[in-house]
Amino acid sequence: MKKISHFIDGKAYSDEKSRIGPIFNPAIGEQIAEVELANKTTVEKAIDSSAKAFLKWSKTTPINRARILSKYKDLLINNMEELSVMVSMEHGKTIADAKGSIQRGIEVVEFATGITNSLKGDHSSSVGTNVDSHTLRQPLGVCAGITPFNFPAMVPMWMYPVAIACGNTFVLKPSEKDPSCPIRLAELAIEAGLPEGVLNVVNGDKEAVDTLLENKKVQAISFVGSTPIAEYVYHTGTKNNKRVQALGGAKNHMVIMPDADVNKTTDAIIGSAFGSAGERCMAISVAVCVGKQTKEKIKTKLLEETAKLNVGPYTDEKSDFGPLNNKAHFEKVIGYIDSGEKEGAKLLTDGRNFKKQGYENGYFVGPTIFDDVKPEMKIYKEEIFGPVLSMMTAETYEEALNLVNDHELGNGAAVFTKSGNIAKHFTENAKIGMIGVNVPIPVPVAYHSFGGWKRSLFGDHSMHGPEGVRFYTKLKTATVTWSEDNIGPEFTIPVLS
């Protein structure tokens, strides 16, 4: 059986003493490979490798770092087919979805190739008599990233391209559920000319995570995952004097006004609620319809279109979305649906008994829609991370906005309307990090930054874009003056007429 190890010092690294974890194809529910789970010694080896590489890489000029990343971007594009199959086979998402996510990661690499402009400091002349002042942004050292199973290519690329473009070195700890693509990403970086040790990859579980959080050579930690783990990473990392950005879970609302276009809104709900089997932190999981008539119109069209969805494996080009990633998560999502039914929500479509012929052991859950969901219900309060949509009714726009603002998670939210006044008010007053106006999944482009509010983000910096550069650098300010006493004998001051 295929075994996936680690990637340290520019090559595969295997430790025979490592524990072993299984890798499954979620469409068939069968093990297809195994992965080494790094112990503390292996993680420390990767950290030491990156610390050594930092001495030279941090002195490499930004333009030369950018040139390597430019070659890397081309290699990623040329290997898109291979990378997308790796993602789909181990995660379960469709090939089209995998390609789309990889492309969003590549766009961050493309942003990082412009690092020379992003690292330019500020300059003020004559802050005093013959005194100037300027700022510099300098790298931190060894940085680390801990990434989730739902985007094994995109989320790592939100982190390390910006970090290494800024002159840092990086240790990546991807999800042990789908580790093949992250290893391949590191191999391609070496092929592009990235020096050995600048990007290392270790596969593992809590032991690997805790080693990264506690090791004194690691200066910064980036994390994406559930809110409880994000909070743990943040507090443990900062306790160990590290800079931390930890992105947690979400409960993203779509507020639907009476004037919203029914067909376009329905299409947006289906794509954002059920795409990638709902395993996205930006998935719309709550549709808040303003007015009963609005809900009835949306519900009728939604049930009609949901019935047309094709749920199946990534090998079927007709599949709209695939299985959940693993058995434990499959059982968790089923448990949420059970809970919603017990608490009194009205189940309009039930995905629990979905079976795909030939894939009966796969982790498939069909599209599931609840109506009459109440704020006190578990399915409303917690992130489900599956193809489950909750429908709610608000009498007024103000009531809908309060629902959005009262939830403890504040990652993303959208409003669908033809009213410019409503759109402006929602954008300015929703206590949410990322807002969509007639856009169901408002993921910022690479040259803006990604991050939520409230318990969806622990730390002060969002990911990629300008915030990513600020996170992966430290600011230095120089105040400079020169007088004749500072000038050596070989220099003379020109006389200006």
> Is residue 286 located within the same domain as residue 404?
yes
SS3 434: strand
145 found inside a domain:
yes
497 found inside a domain:
no
DSSP-derived secondary structure letter, 46: H
> Is residue 243 located within the same domain as residue 273?
no
Question: Contact, 204 vs 20, CB < 8 A?
Answer: no
Q: What is the pLDDT of residue 497?
A: 43
Instruction: Please count the helices (runs of H) and the strands (runs of E) in the chain.
Output: 16, 23
> Is residue 137 located within the same domain as residue 65?
yes
Concerning whether 181 is annotated as a catalytic residue, the answer is no
493 found inside a domain:
no
- The domain that holds 420 is classified in CATH as 3.40.309.10
Low-confidence ranges of the chain (pLDDT < 50): 497
269 found inside a domain:
yes
Overall number of domains in the chain: 2
Q: Residue holding tokens 């990767």? A: 46
> Is residue 410 located within the same domain as residue 280?
yes
Task: Tell me the residue range of the domain where 22 lies.
Answer: 2-248+456-478
CA 192 to chain CA centroid, Å, is: 24
Catalytic choice (143, 166, 281, 289)? 281
CA atoms of 50 and 9, how far apart (whole Å):
8
Q: State whether the Cα torsion 291-292-297-298 is positive or negative.
A: positive
Copy the structure tokens of residue 75: 């290699």
451 found inside a domain:
no
445 found inside a domain:
no
> Is residue 18 located within the same domain as residue 80?
yes
- The domain that holds 116 is classified in CATH as 3.40.605.10
> Is residue 149 located within the same domain as residue 211?
yes
Taking the CA of residue 49 as centre, how many other CA atoms within 13 Å lie in the half-sphere pointing to its CB? Answer: 25
> Is residue 53 located within the same domain as residue 182?
yes
> Is residue 242 located within the same domain as residue 260?
no
161 found inside a domain:
yes
> Is residue 258 located within the same domain as residue 277?
yes
> Is residue 144 located within the same domain as residue 273?
no
Query: What predicted TM-score, i.e. pTM, was given to this entire model?
Result: 0.94
Q: What is the pLDDT of residue 169?
A: 98
50 found inside a domain:
yes
**How would you classify residue 461: left for phi > 0, otherwise alpha for psi between -120 and 50, otherwise beta?**
beta
Question: Contact, 139 vs 170, CB < 8 A?
Answer: no
CA 132 to chain CA centroid, Å, is: 41
Q: Residue holding tokens 């507020």? A: 255
> Is residue 296 located within the same domain as residue 390?
yes
Q: Which residues pair with 347 in a beta bridge?
A: 370
> Is residue 204 located within the same domain as residue 353?
no
Q: Residue holding tokens 């990090």? A: 433
Question: Contact, 194 vs 72, CB < 8 A?
Answer: yes
